[in-house]
Chains A and B, each alone.
Chain A
Amino acid sequence: MASSTMAGAHDHPRGLRRFLFSTNHKDIGTLYIILGSVGGVIGFLLSLGMRLELAYPGVQIFPGLAEALQGADPSMALDAGKNLYNVFITVHGVLMIFFMAMPILIGGFGNWFVPIMIGAPDMAFPRLNNISFWLLFASLVLAVISMFVEGAPGMKGFGGGWTFYPPLSSNTGSPGPAMDFVILALHLAGASSILGAINFITTIFNMRAPGMTLHKMPLFVWSMLVTAFLLLLVLPVLAGCVTMLLTDRNFGTMFYDPAGGGDPLLFQHLLWFFGHPEVYIVILPGFGIISQIVSTFSKKPVFGYLGMAYAMVSIGVLGSIVWAHHMYTVGLSLNAQRYFTLATMVIAVPTGIKIFSWIATMWGGSISFRAPMVWAIGFIFVFTMGGITGVVLANASADKQFHEGYYVVAHFHYTLSLGAVFALYAGFYYWFPKMTGYMYSETLAKANFWLLFIGVNVVFFPQHFLGLGGMPRRYIDYPDAYALWNLVSSSGMIFVTLSLVVWFYAIIEAFMKKRLAGANPWGVGATTLEWTLSSPPPFHQFQVLPRITGASR
C-alpha cells in the first residue's frame, strides 16, 4: 500500500495513527482480517485440545491443562479439567462465530470490497467503521478473560455452550463473574455488528456509482446487503436477551427463573430468534464470494443472477422464522413442531437454487482451476453435504433421534467449519493479490486446500456415525463403543493442523517473493470493479466515480 498515489486533500496517515485511528475502509478491513485470523487460531487451538482429549476414552489431558492454564489445584484437577473442557467448547463456539467467521467475512471482505464493487470511495460512515472494529477488539479481550475468572462454584470460565442457556448461565449454574464477562463481550460484539450493519446498508443504498442499479450489483454486495439487514434485525434481540440474563444475575430480576414466574424457555426463544439468522449471517457472505469466484473462473456471468439474488433474500427471510427447530425437544406443542418442520424444510428450496445455479454457471464455461476456484468447488460439495443433513434435522420427528448429538455436530460443522471456512479461504486467495499486490504460490494454496479438505472430512464425516449411534455432544468422555470413530475423527486434526501451517507459510512466502500480481491476475472472467484498480488499490479510490453501463453479473 506504500505504492498508493495520494491525491486530493485527504491525509495519508502512517504507522500507529494509520491503523489505530483508521477511517479507511481498506485498512479497517485488513484489521478485521488480522483480528479474525487471531480469533480463528485461538479457536482452532481450543478444538485441537478437544479432539486430543476425545481421541481415546477416558479423561487424559484436561486436568493437566487446567493446572497449566488456570492454575487449578492438583487435588481438584480432575473436576477443573472437566469444567475446562466445557469452557473450551463454549469459547471455541463463540470465537469461531463472532471472532473468526464474522470479522473476516463481513468486517474484512465486506469492508474491503463492498465500496469498491459498487464504485464508492469509502464506506458511508468511516468513523463508525473505526469504532465497530475497536468494539470488537475489546469484545474479544473480554471473551478471552472470561476463561480465567470464576464461573461455576470453585471453577474458572463459563462452560455451558455458546448458547448460554440459563439456569446453567444464571446464578444457579455459574454464579461467578465469568458469565458476566461473556455477556458484556456479546454486548460489545453486538454493538459493533449493528454499527457495521448500519454502515453497510447506508453505503449500499446511497453510494453506488452512477449506473450501478441494485440489479447490477455484484452478488457479493447483495449477500452483504441481506446479511446487514439480518444483523440489524436480530442483534438487538440478542442484546435484549443477554441483558435480561445480566439483570437476572446481578439485579434480582426473574425473567428466566421459574421460581419468580420466569421461564428458561423465553431465553431459548430469544437466543434462537437471533441464533438461527446468525448462521445465515455467517454463510450468506460465503454465498456471495462463491458466486463471484465461480463466475470469474468459468469466464461466464453468473447463471440466473436475479434468482441468485432473491434466493439470498428469501433465505434471509425464511431463516428468520424457523428458530424453534433448535428446540424440538423442549416440549413444543405438536402444531408448533409441525410448523417449524415445514418452514425449515422450505429453506432447502432457495439453497438448492443456489447450488444448481453455481453448477449451471460452470456448465458451458471455460473453467481454469486456480486455487480460489478449487476452494469454491470444494465449498459447493461440502456445503451440499451439510445441507442435506440439515434436511434430515429439519424434521422434528427425526431430530428426536439426533438432537444434541454428534449428528448435529457433524451437520453444522459441514455448513460452517467446512462451508463458511472454505468460502473464506476461497475469498482470501481470490482477493489476496488485490489486497496485497502480491501473487500467492499456486502450489501452496492448493496444498492448503487438499490438506484442509481431507482433514475436515476425516474429522467430521465419522461424527455422523457417532451421532447415529447415539453419542451426545459436549461430552469429555464417552462409552467405549464410540472409541473407533472418535479416534478416526481426532486423527483428521493432523491434516487440519498441517493445512494451517501451509496457510501461514503461503502468506509469508508471498510477501517474501513479492511476485507482482498486476491489476487483474484472473483475466477476462474478472469483471467486477475491484479488478479495474491497481493492486493494491490506491489509498483513496474512485476520485472520479466510475460510470457503469455494461450488463450486470
Chain B
Amino acid sequence: MFNVNRQMLTRGALAAAVAISATLFAGFALAQVEGQPTPGGLGLPNMVTPVGLGTQQFYNMVLMPIISFIALFVLGLLVYVSYRFNEQKNPIPSKLTHNTPLEIVWTLIPVLILLFISVPSLRLLAEQVEVPEASVTIKVTGNQWYWSYKYPEDQGGGFGFDQMMKPESELQPGDLRLLSVDNEAVVPVNEVIAVHITSNDVIHAFGVPSFGVRMDAIPGRLNQTWFKIEKEGVYYGQCFFICGKDHAYMPIVIRAVSREKYNEWLAEAKQKFASADSRVRVAAESH
C-alpha cells in the first residue's frame, strides 16, 4: 500500500515535471514569433535579413563569448586573490610592484583580442553602410508622432500614407499593444529595399530589430539604409530616438510578401491612398 502510494507520487511528480517543462518549452517556442519581441526573451530576435543575420552571428559567435570569458576571468581572479591573499592566509605582504613582461603581456593580449574583433566588425559595417542596387525604394518620414511612407511613381507607386499606432480600444485579436498600426508598409520579400529616411520636425529614429536596421530621421538630412527580407511575415519596429511625449507611441510595421502579392497591394494602395492624399491636400489648402 505504502509502496504503491510512493510509486504513484513519484510518477505523478515526474508527469508534472514533464508537463511543466513541456508547457514552458511550448510556450517558449510559441512565443518566439519572428518580427516581434519575445516575452521574457534573453537574446537577439530571430533575424530575417543578411545584415541582421550578420549582426546575430557577430554578437553570438564573436562578441558574446569573448566578453563572457573576460568577465568570468576577472571575476575568477578577484575571487582567487581575495581567498589566497587575505590577511589571515598571507599576513606578510610581498613588495612586488613591477613585472615588465607581465605588463607587456596584458597590454598586447587585449590588442590582439581587439584586432580579432575588428575584422568581422568592419566587414559587417561595410555591408550595412554600402547600399546595394535596390529594386524598391521607399521614403520614410518621421513626424511627431507617426511615420509616413512614400512609394515612388517609377516603381509602380506614386502614393504616400501615414502609419499610426492603433489605440488600445481598436485592437483586434492578434494585434499587439503599442506595436500594431493602421496602415502596414508592404514590401516584396527577397528583394533589396532601399529606405530613405528624414524627419519633418524633431529627430526620430527608424528601427526594426529583426532587420538589424537602425537609422536616425533628422530634419534637413536624407539618410539611407537598406534591408533584404528573406522570409515573408510581419515585422515590428519602434521609434529609437526621444521625440517628445508620444515617443513610445509611434511603432513601425513592415509586411513582407511575395512579388505578386506586392504588385497587387501596390495597385490597391494606389487607389486607396490617392484619395486620402487628395483629401489631405484639400484640407491643407482650406487652411
Contact = CB atoms under 8 A, between A and B. Distances in A.
Given A173-B201, A366-B92, A405-B240, A352 B40 contact: no
Interface in B68-107: 70-71, 74-75, 77-78, 81-82, 85-87, 90-99, 102-103, 106-107
B109 to A, nearest CB: 8
Contacts, number: 288
B179 A329 contact: no
Interface in B216-237: 216, 218-221, 223-224, 236
Contacts of A135: none
B124 A334 contact: no
A338 B216 contact: no
Interface string B241-284: 11111111100000000000000000000000000000000000
Nearest to B238: A472
Contacts of A401: 44, 55, 59, 209, 212, 214
Interface in B164-207: 176-179, 201-203, 205, 207
Interface in A384-434: 384-385, 388-389, 391-392, 395-398, 400-401, 403-405
Interface string B26-45: 00000100001111111111
9 contacts: A173-B201, A330-B223, A338-B125, A345-B118, A349-B107, A395-B58, A398-B55, A400-B213, A468-B42
Given A172-B201, A384-B74, A388-B67, A345 B36 contact: no
B93 A465 contact: no
Given A341-B118, A345-B118, A365-B94, A472 B240 contact: yes
A400 B212 contact: yes
Nearest to B91: A366
Contacts of B42: 465, 468
A384 B99 contact: no
A82 B245 contact: yes
Given A349-B111, A392-B67, A83 B245 contact: yes
Contact of B93 (A299, A341, A388, A405): A299
Interface stretch (A21-29, A258-266, A273-281, A503-511): A258-266
Nearest to B70: A388
A264 B44 CA distance: 31
B14 to A, nearest CB: 28
Contacts of B93: 298-300, 364-366
Contacts of B77: 359
Interface in A459-477: 465, 468-472, 474-477
A454 to B, nearest CB: 16
B129 interface: yes
Given A172-B202, A362-B85, A397-B58, A469 B209 contact: yes
Interface of A: 57, 79, 82-83, 86, 89, 152, 155, 159-161, 165, 167-168, 172-173, 258-259, 262-265, 298-305, 307, 329-331, 333-334, 337-338, 341-342, 345-346, 348-349, 352-353, 355-357, 359-360, 362-369, 377, 380-381, 384-385, 388-389, 391-392, 395-398, 400-401, 403-405, 465, 468-472, 474-485
Contact of B215 (A331, A368, A405): A331
B248 A478 contact: yes
Contacts of A258: 219-221
A388 B75 CA distance: 13
Contacts of A337: 125, 129
B74 A359 contact: yes
B128 interface: yes
B245 A331 contact: no
A391 B240 contact: no
A161 to B, nearest CB: 5
Contact of B125 (A348, A355, A396): A396
A73 B218 CA distance: 33
Interface residues of B, number: 91
Nearest to A168: B202
A131 B183 CA distance: 58
B114 interface: yes
Given A364-B90, A469-B38, 17 more contacts: A172-B201, A263-B220, A298-B93, A338-B125, A346-B114, A349-B107, A359-B81, A367-B90, A395-B63, A397-B128, A401-B59, A403-B205, A403-B214, A404-B214, A468-B41, A474-B247, A481-B31
B43 to A, nearest CB: 5
B4 interface: no
Contacts of A329: 205, 214-216, 240
A395 B224 CA distance: 19
Interface string B50-64: 000011001100010
Contacts of A477: 178, 248-249
A360 B98 CA distance: 9
A490 to B, nearest CB: 15
Contacts of A483: 39
Interface centre among A57, A259, A395 (most CB of B within 10 A): A395
Given A160-B242, A167-B202, A167-B219, A348 B74 contact: no
A389 B67 contact: yes
Contacts of A304: 97-99, 103
Closest 8 CB pairs of A and B: A258-B220, A470-B209, A364-B94, A481-B37, A388-B67, A397-B124, A331-B223, A82-B245
Nearest to B97: A301
B140 interface: no
A469 B37 CA distance: 6
Nearest to B122: A338
A345 B41 contact: no
A481 B38 contact: yes
A349 B165 CA distance: 46
A360 B99 contact: yes
Contacts of A366: 85-87, 90-93
B214 A400 contact: yes
B210 to A, nearest CB: 8
